[in-house]
Amino acid sequence: MGIFDRKNCDICGGKVGLLGGKKVKDGRLCSDCAKKQSPYLSSRKNFTVDEMKQHLEDRAANQEVVKAFEPTRTAGSSLKLYIDDARGLWFLTKAKRYQEVNPDVFTAEQILGARVDIEKGTRVETLEKAVPAKDGKPAVPAKTKEVIYHNFYVLIDVSHPWVNQMRLQVNNSSLEGGVSHPDYKEAERDAREIVDALTVMRDVAMDEKQAKAKPKQRVKCPHCGASTMPDENGACEYCMGMIG
């Protein structure tokens, strides 16, 4: 095998670049196919060509769901949660024209949990560089100061064939100077708003599921007095009288 051998993409058959394309467990993808994958997919190298084919088919189906998606409300500002209440669907993205990035769409039932994750750190900022000793003058040490920064993330666990967890940054650049940063409150509010909306969505979906699964209760029929299980029309199973 010569070093100039061109290889083909195992998904679409197209030529892959001289650098050999994007590797998967048992093959390779061209960059066009790799671009279509979900940004939440954990390491591509863990997947086989067949799995990637399935994944890209699912992504194409997702694109159709995105096209049909009609947002009824949103939460957040930069990172935005879009909710389609009629369909019980949602997705998160920073893209203004979300159709172009094909964000993974989830159902309310797929939400396992959501919480705000605040990263706090410090970094050392150099105010004045150190000056080495020169011409008999002593060295001057650098002037530095410690800068505190915060980043707000939403951490969402989902039950989905290709996505387990999303950790998405709410603020665009790290918030230096702590709580006093002008964007701190906004980032905190956005993160909270997104998490609350998802939590409520999940709770409503779970309540509905439980209500459906709950066995119907026997009631005393006001017409015939029998202990009866009302039929789907709410009628007594013995005398057919309407109950409640």
- How far is Cα 128 from Cα 137, in angstroms, rounded to an integer? 17
Minimum distance of Zn ion from residue 29's CB (angstroms): 6
Q: Which stretch binds Zn ion (CB under 5 A): 83-91, 125-133, 135-143, 223-231?
A: 223-231
Minimum distance of Zn ion from residue 104's CB (angstroms): 20
DSSP per residue, 4-43: T---B-TTT-PBPPTT--EEETTEEE-HHHHHTS-TT---
Q: Which stretch binds Zn ion (CB under 5 A): 11-19, 78-86, 97-105, 149-157?
A: 11-19
Q: Which is nearer to Zn ion, 121 or 234 (CB)?
A: 234
Among residues 7, 8, 12, 148, the one that binds Zn ion under rule CB under 5 A:
12
Question: Among all chains, which residue has been given the structure tokens 């905190």?
Answer: 188
Among residues 11, 81, 114, 166, the one that binds Zn ion under rule CB under 5 A:
11
- How far is Cα 220 from Cα 152, in angstroms, rounded to an integer? 56
Interaction between residue 224 and Zn ion (CB under 5 A): yes
Q: Which is nearer to Zn ion, 30 or 114 (CB)?
A: 30
DSSP strand pairing (73-75 vs 219-220) = unpaired
Interface with Zn ion: number of residues (CB under 5 A)? 13
Encoding tokens for residue 182?
């002008």
Residue closest to 92 by CA, chosen among 81, 104, 106: 81
Among residues 30, 92, 105, 158, the one that binds Zn ion under rule CB under 5 A:
30
Residue closest to 189 by CA, chosen among 72, 73, 79: 79
Q: How far is CA 178 from the centre of its chain?
A: 26
Interacting residues with Zn ion between 84 and 113 (CB under 5 A): none
Q: Which stretch binds Zn ion (CB under 5 A): 8-16, 115-123, 153-161, 178-186?
A: 8-16
The site for Zn ion (CB under 5 A) is made up of 9, 11-12, 14, 30, 33, 221, 223-224, 236, 238-239, 241
